Amino acid sequence: MNDELNYFFSDKIAGAPHPMLANEIIGHSSQKLSFLSSFASNRLPQCWLLAGDMGIGKASFAWLIAKFLLTTKYQPADLKIDLNETNINSILEPQSGNTLNRIISGSEQRVYIVRRGYNEKRKAFFKNISIEDVRKLQSYCALSIADGGKRIIIIDTADDLNKSSSNALLKLLEEPPKNTIFLLISHQPNLLLPTLKSRCQKLSFSNLDQTDLGAVLTAIGCKIEPSDEVSLSILSKGSAGAACRLINSNCLNLYRDILNLASSLPNLNTNKILQLSQNYFAKAKPSEFEIFIEMMQHFFSRLCKTGVMQKPVLPSVTDNEAKIMKSLCPNLKSARLWSEAANISLAKLNKGYLLNIDIESLILDAFIYLEECYQTIYRTRITNE
């Protein structure tokens, strides 16, 4: 697929290859087994809901299923499913040929993808999958299949459907076209229409463990230092998509710098705060400021958990994290105060981001507020003692 064109797809994570290029799925053994068991029993549901956190492999799974169904040499009666992952992966491996080439190039007529479109004028993706998008899908489904075989429809993501497009899709799923498989991808299935979910066979995906996460990152070409594997696994929460994005954003060093500034409380050095802003965001697009908010969320979350548990959260993201967190938040009382401060601080950051306020000012204000909170919490601790 053309890389320049690939950039304008809402179902692609920056810095990672498009899910349609996946030739195998690392991990998710039970999900692969569940699908193949349905295929082998000749009871393949027409509508699947692939549910789980963003970036853990659901879209890649959907595309691998599309490739399998359209290229496999197996008939249901041929398969004897067992728990041997090597055997399962071998069965699911796409068969090379013209069909596979067309799927990878995006020209296979039996695969239809529904996703948010790109607004050329605003240089941004539309907020939702519109009812017009679903109507185009309805027109596609009204067409006959040339060879009488299967066709696959991938909706990435169902979360992007608005009320009108959800209802339009629901009508289509009430009587799905013959030999058509729907694969709905969802990061937040609880927000979908209950009637829409009821039409689907749900397949839940778990986040990747550290070993599988590292294997996925290696497979897609995201380089990571062995010393950073644990840290990245924590901050990405087992999402390969998130990990790839965080690697490209230099998030580990950003989190370390946030921790080091926090360790200097209540004697913050303004020049170091401004230096942090220059190091990471001097040439950044406004949208890239989201990474700072995300790292601050991690900081506050792990800080408050330390106080609640009255011990460091393990494993640590950095060598000095446990010591810093224990010093700032040693007990439940301070955890409660830090939690209140976190809500206010993150709300201010998000509001400032939405209003497009100067990034340097937002970061400076965030740390000044952090210092004020520390002083208040410290005075409370002294009074209680």
> pLDDT per position in the chain (385 positions), as tens?
434 344 457 777 776 778 888 878 898 989 999 999 899 888 899 999 999 999 999 999 999 999 999 999 888 888 866 656 668 888 888 889 999 999 998 899 999 999 998 888 877 788 999 999 999 999 999 988 766 688 999 999 899 999 999 999 999 999 999 999 999 999 999 999 999 999 999 999 999 999 999 999 988 888 888 889 999 999 999 999 889 888 888 899 999 999 999 999 999 999 999 999 999 998 777 778 899 999 999 999 999 999 999 999 999 999 999 999 999 999 999 999 999 999 999 999 999 998 888 899 999 999 999 999 999 887 765 455 5
Contact 303, 325 (CB under 8 A): yes
Q: In this structure, are 278 and 375 located in the same domain?
A: yes
Same domain as 255, residue 199 = no
212 domain residue, yes or no? no
How many angstroms separate the CA atoms of 9 and 13, rounded?
9
SS3 41: coil
Q: Is residue 377 a part of any domain in this protein? A: yes
The count of C-alpha atoms lying within 13 angstroms of the C-alpha of 177, restricted to the half-sphere facing its C-beta, is 20
Residue 237: Cβ within 10 Å count: 16
Is residue 273 within 8 Å of residue 363, measured between CB atoms?
Answer: yes
Q: What is the CATH number of the domain that holds 25?
A: 3.40.50.300
Residues 189, 262: one domain? no
Judgement on whether residues 341 and 195 belong to the same structural domain of the protein: no
Strand ranges in the chain using DSSP code E only, listed in sequence order: 47-51, 111-114, 118-119, 124-125, 151-156, 180-186, 201-204
Q: In terms of domains, do 115 and 262 share one?
A: no
Same domain? 143 vs 260: no
Backbone angles phi, psi at 320, to 5 degrees: -100, 5
* Domain end point (choices 206, 241, 273): 206
Q: Are residues 151 and 10 in the same domain?
A: yes
Answer yes or no: do 261 and 190 share one domain.
Answer: no
Length of the chain: 385
Residues 6+ apart with CB under 8 A from 358: none
How many CB atoms neighbour CB 70 within 10 A? Answer: 22
Say if 313 falls within a structural domain.
yes
Q: What is the structure's pLDDT at 2?
A: 39
Query: Are the C-beta atoms of residues 89 and 23 closer than 8 Å to each other?
Result: no
What confidence score (pLDDT) does residue 144 get? 81
Domain tally, the chain: 2
Task: Please check whether residue 341 lies inside any domain of the structure.
Answer: yes
Residue range(s) defining the domain that contains residue 285? 249-384
Asked if residue 291 is part of any domain, the answer here is: yes
Residue 220 falls inside a structural domain: no
Q: Is residue 74 part of a domain?
A: yes
Sign of the Cα torsion 277, 283, 286, 292 reads negative
- How much is the pLDDT for 222? 83
Answer with the one of 206, 238, 260 that is the final residue of a domain.
206
In DSSP terms, 124 is beta-bridged to 119
Residues 6+ apart with CB under 8 A from 123: none
Do 56 and 194 have their domain in common?
yes
